Chain A
Amino acid sequence: MKARRAARAKVDVWELRLYVAGQTPKSLEAFANLKRICEEHLAGKYHIEVIDLLQNPQLARGDQILAIPTLVRRLPEPVRKIIGGLSNTERVLVGLDLRPRMVAE
Chain B
Amino acid sequence: MQRKAIHQRRATESALPRCPSGIEGLDEITGGGLPRGRPTLVCGNAGCGKTLLGMEFLVRGAAQFNEPGVFMAFEETAEDLASNFASLGFDLDGLVARNKLVIDYVRIERSEIEETGEYNLDGLFIRLGMAIDAVKAKRVVLDTIEALFSGLPNPLILRAELRRLFRWLKDRGVTAIITGERGETTLTRQGLEEYVSDCVITLDHRVVEEIATRRLRVVKYRGAAHGTNEYPFLIGDRGMVVLPITALGLAQRAPTERVSTGIDRLDTMLDGRGFYRGSTILVTGTAGTGKTSVAAQFVDAACRRGERCLYFAFEESQGQIMRNMRSIGIDLAQWADAGLLTFHATRPSTFGLEMHLAAMHDEVRRRQPRVVIVDPISNLAVAGGGDIGIKSMLMRLMDYLKGQEITTMFTVLSRGDNLEHTEAAISSLADTWLLLRDIELAGERNRGIYVLKSRGMKHSNQIREFILTDAGVKLLDVYVGPGGVLTGSSRIRQEAQDREEQALREQELDRRKHELERKRQALEMQITTLRKDLEAEEAEFERFVAEKQLAGARIAEEQLDMARSRKADDYAAAQRPAGEGGVR
Contacts and interface: CB of A to CB of B under 8 A. Distances in A.
Interface of A: 19, 21, 26, 30, 53-54, 57-58, 60-61, 64-70, 78-88, 91-92, 94-95
Given A66-B124, A67-B120, A83-B113, 14 more contacts: A57-B129, A58-B130, A64-B106, A65-B127, A66-B123, A66-B127, A67-B152, A68-B121, A81-B112, A82-B115, A83-B116, A85-B119, A88-B117, A95-B116
Given A57-B126, A61-B104, A80 B112 contact: yes
A82 B113 contact: yes
Give the interface centre of A26, A58, A61, A66 by most chain B CB atoms within 10 Å: A66
Contacts of A85: 116-119
A88 B115 CA distance: 9
B116 A64 contact: no
Nearest to B124: A66
A95 B114 CA distance: 5
A80 to B, nearest CB: 6
Given A21-B126, A61-B104, A80-B112, A67 B117 contact: no
Contact of A57 (B107, B130, B153): B130
Contact of B123 (A53, A84, A91): A53
B108 interface: yes
A66 B116 CA distance: 15
B148 interface: yes
Given A66-B108, A79-B112, A84 B119 contact: yes
B116 A91 contact: yes
By Cβ-Cβ distance, the 4 closest A-B pairs, closest first, are A95-B114, A84-B117, A85-B117, A68-B122
Nearest to B158: A67
A17 B447 CA distance: 88
A82 B114 contact: yes
B123 A60 contact: yes
A19 B121 CA distance: 12
Nearest to A56: B126
29 contacts: A26-B118, A30-B117, A57-B126, A57-B130, A64-B107, A65-B127, A66-B106, A66-B121, A66-B127, A67-B152, A68-B119, A68-B122, A68-B123, A70-B119, A70-B123, A81-B113, A82-B115, A82-B116, A83-B116, A83-B152, A84-B116, A84-B119, A85-B116, A87-B116, A87-B117, A87-B118, A88-B117, A91-B115, A94-B114
A64 B118 contact: no
Residue of A68, A79, A91 with highest tally of chain B CB at under 10 A: A68
Interface residues of B, number: 24
Interface majority SS (helix, strand, loop, mixed), chain B: mixed
A66 to B, nearest CB: 4
B49 to A, nearest CB: 26
Contacts of B106: 64, 66
A65 B114 contact: no
B118 A84 contact: yes
Contacts of B130: 57-58, 60
Contact of B126 (A54, A82, A84, A91): A54
Nearest to A87: B117
Interface of B: 104, 106-108, 112-124, 126-127, 129-130, 148, 152-153
Contacts of A86: 116-117
A68 B119 CA distance: 5
B546 to A, nearest CB: 152
A81 B114 CA distance: 6
B114 A61 contact: no
Given A53-B126, A60-B126, A60-B130, A67 B119 contact: yes
Contacts of A53: 122-123, 126
Nearest to A85: B117
B116 A65 contact: no
Contacts of B153: 83
B116 A88 contact: yes
A69 B119 CA distance: 6
A67 B116 contact: no
A100 B112 CA distance: 15
Nearest to A53: B126
Contacts of A79: 112
A87 B148 CA distance: 22
Given A57-B130, A61-B127, A84 B122 contact: no
Contacts of A30: 117
A68 B120 contact: yes
A72 B394 CA distance: 60
A30 B115 CA distance: 13
B236 to A, nearest CB: 34
Contacts of B152: 66-67, 83
A80 B113 CA distance: 7
A70 B116 CA distance: 10
Contacts of A57: 126-127, 129-130
Contacts of B114: 80-83, 91-92, 94-95
Best-buried of A19, A26, A58, A60 by chain B (most CB within 10 Å): A60
A104 B118 CA distance: 19
Contacts of B119: 67-70, 83-85
B176 to A, nearest CB: 17
B127 A60 contact: yes
Contacts of B126: 21, 53-54, 57, 60
A57 to B, nearest CB: 4
B328 to A, nearest CB: 69
Contacts of B108: 64, 66
Nearest to A68: B122
Contacts of B107: 64
Contacts of A67: 119-124, 152
B452 to A, nearest CB: 67
Nearest to A84: B117
Nearest to A34: B116
B123 A19 contact: yes
A79 B116 CA distance: 17
Contacts of A58: 130
B96 to A, nearest CB: 14
Nearest to B152: A67
